[in-house]
Amino acid sequence: HCIQRDAGASRPAMGDSWSHSCFGFLDYKTEKFALTRNRKVGVLHRLIQLGIVGYILGWVFLAKKGYQEKDTDPHISVITKLKGISVTRVRELGDRIWDVADYVKPPQGENVFFVVTNFIATPKQVQGSCPEHPSIPDGNCRKDEDCSPGQPVVHGNGVKTGKCVPFGASHNTCEIYGWCPVENKTLSRKPLLAEAENFTLFIKNTVNFTRFNFSRTNTLKTTDGSYFKGCRYDAVDDPYCPVFRIRDMVEAAGESFEEMAHLGGAIGLRIDWDCDLDQPPSRCRPCYSFTLLEKKFNFRTASYYRDPLNRQSRSLLKLYGIRFDISVHGQAGKFSIIPTAVNLGTGAAFLGAVSMTSRVKKGPFELQLPSAPGHCSCMMPLGLMGVVDPNKQRAPCWPRLVWMLNDVILDSCHPRLPWFATSSCCTSIRKPNFIGARNTRR
């Protein structure tokens, strides 16, 4: 393929042009430089170059470690274990011991689990008829007609039987068929498992950066076997101890433990690994952070049994507590020649692009200038093209981006141009066959 390079008024004869272009393929072309002795343009050019070198070295290489190959998707495993015992004393249950099997749900040691801190117990429920709780608006009544039989109570505990019956001394409520007696809504103001503040959570977390065959565990190797029994995580004093006190975690998330323990909530625990494998492996350590995800959290659970009369019975618990959600994020980097070369190449290309925008190519050449007749165009460094109307003396030079960076045009300029486009920027190159504009140089 032969490319016709010259078009427009000064185009030579057809055959001439073809042979010219065909041989032109084998020609060696050198650039022609125009020297702009404008200090402002020169300083600007150097500043841009300096900025690019600073960006490549400072940000890409030093701050972002652009010379490293990265693995941001490690294989992760998390195992959790809680420790602690609490005793509760409530009228419905009497004295009761809560150990790990009772207050951790689910108990398997997963990365999402729930710790009970408060509860409402309703033991010995059997299916039968009893008055609905007065706190439920749809359950209140004055006479039997208020309770249409067979209808479930809205947000209630059962199906209306059609009778209006007294609840305690002061209320009348619809009788329902459901699990009776209904749940007492009164929640203890003081968390029933107050000792939960001193429960401890042990986290074992392993990350395996498969790309580098590098694996690391947060239970850092120590010769002292009793270390994990004694240590407590502390953001300042002991940031690598994998044993956390519940109260410390809630407070690190910016919440008061009493509030959380009363009505429940959810806390996010995030483990971050940022490993530089060009350094000794012992420098690769986890970083823990805590966030409040949710306020108020509860759910109900029941255990079923047969009572002495062989009726199916259940013991209902409405549990309030703190849900922990452990997430692990990791990245590891190691020197590699490929990203280094790519980033160096990008930097070189940037520098090249800057030199190109400041390069001036002298005419004659053909280019449809984006200006209307009677306007003149001027080129500023950085590839900005300005167009001015010489008839309107006060018209500003509107900069616009020019994409043909290599064919930068310097044209006669309007006196009222931004400082960087004045005087020698406008070392006026008039094209002999300039299309669509008169020579407006005065």
Ligand X SMILES: *[C@@H]1O[C@H](CO)[C@@H](O)[C@H](O)[C@H]1NC(C)=O
Nearest distance in Å: CB 173, ligand X = 11
Q: Which two tokens stand for residue 326?
A: 């452990």
Nearest distance in Å: CB 198, ligand X = 4
Nearest distance in Å: CB 91, ligand X = 6
Choices 95-103, 193-201, 338-346, 383-391; region in contact with ligand X by CB under 6 A: 193-201
Kindly tell me which residue out of 102, 195, 251, 259 binds ligand X, with binding defined by CB under 6 A: 195
Map tokens 């429920």 to a residue: 125
Nearest distance in Å: CB 256, ligand X = 15
User: Which CB atom, from 130 or from 385, has the smaller least distance to ligand X?
Assistant: 130
Per-residue burial over 162-179, b if 16 or more Cβ lie within 10 Å, else e, is: ebbbebeeebbbbbbbbb
Choices 109-117, 205-213, 263-271, 358-366; region in contact with ligand X by CB under 6 A: 205-213
Q: Does the footprint of ligand X cover residue 210 (CB under 6 A)?
A: yes
Q: Does the footprint of ligand X cover residue 77 (CB under 6 A)?
A: no
User: Which CB atom, from 185 or from 311, has the smaller least distance to ligand X?
Assistant: 185
Q: Does the footprint of ligand X cover residue 428 (CB under 6 A)?
A: no
Nearest distance in Å: CB 245, ligand X = 8
User: Which CB atom, from 21 or from 206, has the smaller least distance to ligand X?
Assistant: 206
Question: Which residues, 6 to 65, sit near ligand X by CB under 6 A?
Answer: none
**Contact (Cβ atoms closer than 8 angstroms) between residue 179 and residue 125:** yes
Nearest distance in Å: CB 74, ligand X = 9
Q: Does the footprint of ligand X cover residue 213 (CB under 6 A)?
A: yes
d(CA 48, CA 54): 10
Q: Does the footprint of ligand X cover residue 208 (CB under 6 A)?
A: yes
Choices 52-60, 209-217, 222-230, 325-333; region in contact with ligand X by CB under 6 A: 209-217
User: Which CB atom, from 91 or from 306, has the smaller least distance to ligand X?
Assistant: 91
Number of residues that bind ligand X (CB under 6 A): 11
Question: Which residues, 173 to 192, sit near ligand X by CB under 6 A?
Answer: 184, 186
Nearest distance in Å: CB 194, ligand X = 4
Question: Which residues, 250 to 289, sit near ligand X by CB under 6 A?
Answer: none
Q: What x/- string results for residues 137 through 176 when contact with ligand X is judged by CB under 6 A?
A: ----------------------------------------
Q: Does the footprint of ligand X cover residue 215 (CB under 6 A)?
A: yes
Neighbouring residues of 309: CB distance < 8 A, sequence distance ≥ 6: none
Q: Does the footprint of ligand X cover residue 197 (CB under 6 A)?
A: yes
Report the half-sphere exposure of 186 (CA within 13 A, side-chain side): 5
Point out which residues pair with 217 in neighbouring strands.
Answer: 206
d(CA 337, CA 367): 43
Q: Does the footprint of ligand X cover residue 217 (CB under 6 A)?
A: no
Closest by CA to 347, choosing from 51, 17, 38, 56, is 56
Q: Does the footprint of ligand X cover residue 407 (CB under 6 A)?
A: no
Point out which residues pair with 204 in neighbouring strands.
Answer: 79
User: Which CB atom, from 215 or from 439, has the smaller least distance to ligand X?
Assistant: 215
Choices 141-149, 194-202, 299-307, 383-391; region in contact with ligand X by CB under 6 A: 194-202
Choices 34-42, 210-218, 329-337, 405-413; region in contact with ligand X by CB under 6 A: 210-218
d(CA 206, CA 231): 19
**Contact (Cβ atoms closer than 8 angstroms) between residue 427 and residue 362:** no
Neighbouring residues of 288: CB distance < 8 A, sequence distance ≥ 6: 233, 235, 239, 244, 269, 270, 271, 272
Nearest distance in Å: CB 76, ligand X = 11
Q: Does the footprint of ligand X cover residue 248 (CB under 6 A)?
A: no
Kindly tell me which residue out of 5, 46, 64, 75 binds ligand X, with binding defined by CB under 6 A: 75
Nearest distance in Å: CB 55, ligand X = 36
Residues near ligand X, by CB under 6 A:
75, 184, 186, 194-195, 197-198, 208, 210, 213, 215
